[in-house]
Amino acid sequence: MKGKVCLVTGASRGIGAAIASALAERGARVVVHYGHAKELAVKVAENLAGSDHLVVGANLANPDAADEFMESVVDQTGRLDVLVNNAGIFVPHPPMTVDADDWLFKWEQTLAVNLLSPAALCQSAAKIMAEQGGGRIINIGSRGAFRGEPECPAYAASKAGLHAMSQSLAVALAPHGILVYAVAPGFVATDMAQELLDSEKGAGIRAQSPLGRVAKPEEIAETVCFLASSRAEFLSGGIIDINGASYLRS
Ligand SMILES: NC(=O)c1ccc[n+]([C@@H]2O[C@H](COP(=O)([O-])OP(=O)(O)OC[C@H]3O[C@@H](n4cnc5c(N)ncnc54)[C@H](OP(=O)(O)O)[C@@H]3O)[C@@H](O)[C@H]2O)c1
């Protein structure tokens, strides 16, 4: 990864911050993206191994702005080798409780951040990477795409879409030297899951895995680093489960 430019969206905390840290440890120049938490992102960047890392902000609730955001990144770095679409939101909207307007609003909000912005960033990145002769795109999906999210159906749908998009792009972009992967974590100990893990449901959630725990962000980061390396070429098109055997799909 020495000298590779890696853009990690949603790197101000959680899984994104762990990915940024693991990539930097392997010698990458990391672009630490944040949505709202600039101070946290600056701290993440300050603690990364190596030097020349960047901090960039962009609200991914607006997919139309993704192209401009990507341009501003490459203006500063001169190139892009790895894109990790990690930023995401989980906004509950139980179908029998929310009213119709709220239901639709939550769907639009979730799809914008979790699917449409990653789609826009994938296309901008692919054009840049193709000109450079290749690159890697890693999309952070979810076990919820397979198992369902009864309280948050838009989240499950957005991640199922992200998985399907990754597979289609793996085919479309391989001739340009661009490899595309998705990873599908189960529960991970981050802000996104903390309220549930701390609630009375926490013990049941940990018991979903025969290992009796949820994942650490660093475990997702290790897999992403492998996919970003030159060793994972033939895994392109794969959706890698990281769920401690909590959900086995055929
Ligand atoms: N935690 C889990 O159990 C779990 C399980 C499976 C998959 N995942 C997926 O893993 C990824 C990372 O999750 P996490 O647990 O690390 O979540 P997290 O701790 O809630 O962090 C989410 C990240 O996404 C960014 N983000 C959210 N909305 C944004 C927006 N509108 N524009 C730009 N950035 C935005 C946040 O940036 P700011 O705070 O700066 O706005 C933050 O850096 C997500 O795609 C999530 O769906 C998580």
Distance, CA 88 to ligand 1 centroid (Å)?
A: 4
* Amino acid 235: pLDDT: 98
pLDDT lower than 50: segments of the chain: none
Is residue 14 lining ligand 1, measured as CB closer than 6 Å?
yes
Q: What strands lie across the sheet with 5-8, from one edge to the other?
A: 54-57, 29-34, 5-8, 82-85, 135-140, 178-185, 239-242
* Amino acid 198: pLDDT: 96
Give the tens place of pLDDT for each residue, 196-224: 999 999 999 999 999 999 999 999 999 99
Integer Cα distance of 217 and 15 in angstroms: 5
* Amino acid 234: pLDDT: 97
Residue 36 has a CB neighbour count (10 Å cut-off) of: 10
Q: Catalytic residue at 155?
A: yes
Is residue 140 lining ligand 1, measured as CB closer than 6 Å?
yes
Q: Is the model's pTM score more than 0.95?
A: yes
Domain boundaries, the chain: 5-240
Integer Cα distance of 87 and 119 in angstroms: 12
Integer Cα distance of 223 and 64 in angstroms: 30
Ligand 1 atom with minimal separation from the 18 CA: 16
Is residue 139 lining ligand 1, measured as CB closer than 6 Å?
no
Among candidate residues 34, 155, 181, 247, the one labeled active-site is 155
Tell me the best of 116, 188, 198, 240 to mutate to test the pocket of ligand 1, counting ligand atoms within 8 Å of each CB and taking the most.
188
Question: What is the longest distance spanned by two Cα atoms in the chain?
Answer: 52
* Amino acid 97: pLDDT: 96
* Burial status of residue 40 (CB atoms within 10 A of its CB: 0-12, 13-18, 19 or more): middle
Is residue 16 lining ligand 1, measured as CB closer than 6 Å?
yes
Integer Cα distance of 222 and 146 in angstroms: 22
* Amino acid 250: pLDDT: 86
Q: Which stretches of the chain are assigned E, i.e. beta strand?
A: 5-8, 29-34, 54-57, 82-85, 135-140, 178-185, 239-242
Integer Cα distance of 53 and 7 in angstroms: 10
Ligand 1 atom with minimal separation from the 40 CA: 40
* Amino acid 80: pLDDT: 98
Ligand 1 atom with minimal separation from the 13 CA: 43
First and final C-alpha spacing in the chain: 33
Nearest C-alpha neighbor of 246 from the set 210, 219, 216, 218: 210
CATH no. of 5-240 = 3.40.50.720
Integer Cα distance of 115 and 101 in angstroms: 21
> Contact 152/92 with Cβ under 8 angstroms?
yes
* Amino acid 158: pLDDT: 99
